[in-house]
Amino acid sequence: MIEVVNLTKRYGDVDVLKGLSFKVRRAESKIILGNNNSGKSTLLRLLMGLEKPEYGKILVDGKDITKFDEDELIKYRKNKSIVFQEGALFDSLTIRENVGFKLYDEGWDEEEVDEIVFKLLQFVGLEHTIDMYPSELSGGMKRRVAIARAMAGEPTVVFYDDPTAGLDPVTSRTICDLIVKLRDIEGVTSVVVTHDLSVAYFISNFMAFIGEEGNILLRQQEKNMCYINNSFLVMRDGSVLFDGNEMLLEECEDPFVRELIS
């Protein structure tokens, strides 16, 4: 679905991305690991079409989005979402207005938006916060609201930038559950930047499915099954060090990769 070819991004005279190439398949989660400053957030902004590279292509469904003008980019971004590293809620808007932002912007009917916003907040277990302001929520709650907001408008692609940073293990787990559910139940393609290996392995190893009673269940996948819908990319200083599934990651002999996953 996404093919990045020789992507180069420069700020001032520093190449932050140095000729990156990789692919993301439809309904796959691509987990990006890497040290600080390796260009992960920059890469997500480019994939979302928020910035342009110096060189290279980003082919999405065969079209190079780096050549898009602003109108084409607005259309491109319609069914894509990004969860920024800091969550980035609008402090002066209520949770309802934050989550419904994109839908209001697209001119949806207010009652319709209300209904959707409520359902999205229910999905992340925060419907009771609907009339609160971000300042009244904890860090973990804000992150879950940011994910609910990213889900508005039923995106087919979601870019998550370190979505569990600073969260306790239980809250982290609820966010991993959401990412897996969106992937396996809704067929959402995702790119997930994370510094947390337990998050990376959870997303790689678990699958969501619909149980007999119509409820969504999660199950640890059998070994070798988990590689179908997930892959890893390891970045270091703007370059790709590793690209492949979990089994290959475990076998990778690059010392930096070994240290990162040990």
Binding residues with ligand ATP: total (CB under 6 A): 11
Which of these segments, 38-46, 209-217, 232-240, 245-253, binds Mg ion (CB under 5 A)? 38-46
- Name all contacts of 70-76 with Cβ < 8 Å and 24+ positions apart: 73/49, 76/49
Indicate which single residue of 29, 38, 41, 194 sits in contact with Mg ion (rule: CB under 5 A): 41
Please report, as a single letter, which amino acid is at residue 227: Y
Handedness of CA 94, 146, 173, 162 (dihedral sign): negative
CB-wise, 129 or 194, nearer to ligand ATP? 194
Residues 25-44 within binding reach of ligand ATP (CB under 6 A): 34, 36-42
Nearer to ligand ATP (CB atom), residue 125 or residue 166: 166
- Helix or strand or coil: residue 145? helix
Give me the 73-92 binding string for ligand ATP, x by CB under 6 A, dash otherwise: ------------x-------
Angle at 45 between CA 41 and CA 47, to 5 degrees: 115
- Residue with Cβ nearer ligand ATP (37 or 79): 37
**Interior angle at CA 91, CA 48 and CA 160, nearest 5:** 30
**Given the complex with ligand ATP, which of 88 and 218 has the nearer CB atom?**
88
CB of 41 to ligand ATP, least distance (A): 3
| Burial of residue 1, with CB atoms counted within 10 A of its CB: 0-12 exposed, 13-18 middle, 19 or more buried | middle
**Residues in touch with ligand ATP (CB under 6 A):** 11, 16, 34, 36-42, 85
